[in-house]
Amino acid sequence: MNIASIPKFFAAVMLMIFSAASFANDDFTSEKRQQLLAPVALYPDTVLTHILIAATYPLEIVQAERWLQQRKSLSAEEAVNAANNEPWDPSVKALLAFPDLLSRMSEDLLWTQELGEAFLADEQATLADVQQLRQRAWDNGSLEGMEHQKASLEDRQIIIQPTRREVVYVPYYDTRVVYGSWGWPAYPPVYWPRPPRYSGGFYWGFSAPVGDWFYFSGFHWGHRTVVISHSRPYYHYRHRHYGYHPRVEHWRHDPHHRRNVHYRHHGAIPQQRLNAFEQRGRVNSTQHREQVQRQLRHHQSRINAVYGSNKQPRVERSPGIKQHSREAIHRTERLQRNTIKRTPVERNNPRTRVIERNTNRLQSQPRPQSQPRMRSESRPKASRQAAPSRPVDRSRYSNNAQRSGSGARGGRFD
């Protein structure tokens, strides 16, 4: 290295450092996310979920790719079964069925890490950008007549699924052509080199036979979230929506699989991301504050409408109310003047002195204590004897007894 080239070398190094620092501090915009999603947005939904989840664990992708390079003779299902004991995320293991895709993500590691952190920073916005890119390709006519996968528009969401669920193809397409005119020249789409036999449109280069083990994740497009199902198979719903199952849960990032890889962006750090309850609480508090402010403004406008801006009433009060209140005051004063006032008790009165003397004398005498009454044991208790029984002549009540005329109707019997 020449001495003259040393300053240029240090300048280039400093420029790379500052550019990397500024790149890491930039927030992900919609243009930036669509730039990163361009080469994979038209993949089948299940494959795309594995790519987004695995991109959040870039070190495991590198480990899985190196592990697969040493076992090239294994088929797709054999490679996945052989990696069951590896401490990797299930989505990373699922990508072992596609060696070319896994190798591409391992080689372009900067793109993989940026895609994963954009997905971590804002999951809903990332999936919304996927739908925007698919809509661009739909409007451009690029999703018509695909051989090994089909795109359908349902509930204003574009769903891409393989034609046969037993075989999944991962296509290649030119991102500069398939989306039509690109609207952001400052953020050109990520472009991967063409395969040798590529002639345009979609190129069906590599495929893999998959089974139930592959369909355990999908998109909930209505909520813009990635969902995971632990009860496989995961494609039974009408055999078209391979990512919908009644018993699913929202996917959550596991920092353990990150393997101490540094988060380049502040929004991708799990501790800095608010959970759904905190976000809901903040939204509710903001809405409540805005509602209270609207009520106060409405109340102030009503006050101004009644009293005016100078806070003086526009309508004078009726004089009858004031006159009635004065008459009530005069009536009260008149009653107070006519009320008989009691004189204080004179304690030097002879009658009062006699009462006090008798009271003091009664208080000075000791009060006899009353003893409880005890039942005398010698006193005999009264015994109750049964009354002597009288003989009853039952013949009088027999059926053969003769009754008098008065006895037939409540009279005496003879």
pLDDT in tens, 385-399: 555 666 656 565 555
Start-to-end C-alpha separation, the chain: 156
Domain boundaries, the chain: 27-256, 274-314
Q: Which residues pair with 137 in a beta bridge?
A: none
Show the CA angle centred on residue 132, arms to residues 195 and 109, nearest 5°: 45
Q: What is the pTM of this model?
A: 0.60
| Rounded-to-integer distance, Cα 160 and Cα 169, Å | 12
Rounded to a whole number of angstroms, the CA Rg of the chain reads 49
DSSP secondary structure letter of residue 384:
P
| Rounded-to-integer distance, Cα 298 and Cα 268, Å | 42
Query: Residue for token digits 């003397």?
Result: 357
pLDDT in tens, 70-105: 998 888 889 988 998 899 999 999 999 999 999 999
Between 203 and 239, where is the model more confident?
203
pLDDT of residue 351: 75
* pLDDT average, residue stretch 183-208: 87
Cβ burial, residue 204 (10 Å; 0-12/13-18/19+): middle
How long is the chain?
A: 414
Between 75 and 319, where is the model more confident?
75
| Rounded-to-integer distance, Cα 128 and Cα 55, Å | 18
The overall average pLDDT reported for the chain is 76
Asked if 245 and 48 touch (Cβ cutoff 8 Å), the reply is no
* Other residues' Cβ atoms within 10 Å of the Cβ of residue 403: 13
Lowest mean pLDDT among 176-180, 262-266, 278-282: 278-282
Nearest alpha-carbon partner for 208 in 151, 147, 162, 160: 162
| Rounded-to-integer distance, Cα 206 and Cα 365, Å | 121
Nearest alpha-carbon partner for 170 in 139, 210, 140: 210
pLDDT of residue 367: 63
pLDDT of residue 356: 81
Provide the percentage of residues in the chain whose pLDDT is more than 70.
62
| DSSP-H helix ranges across 267-318 | 276-307
pLDDT in tens, 127-151: 999 999 999 999 999 999 898 999 9
pLDDT of residue 18: 41
How far is CA 45 from each of CA 192, 206, 217, 271, rounded to the nearest angstrom?
20, 17, 9, 28
Q: Is the pLDDT of residue 56 over 80?
A: yes
Provide the percentage of residues in the chain whose pLDDT is more than 90.
34
pLDDT in tens, 161-183: 999 888 999 999 999 999 999 98
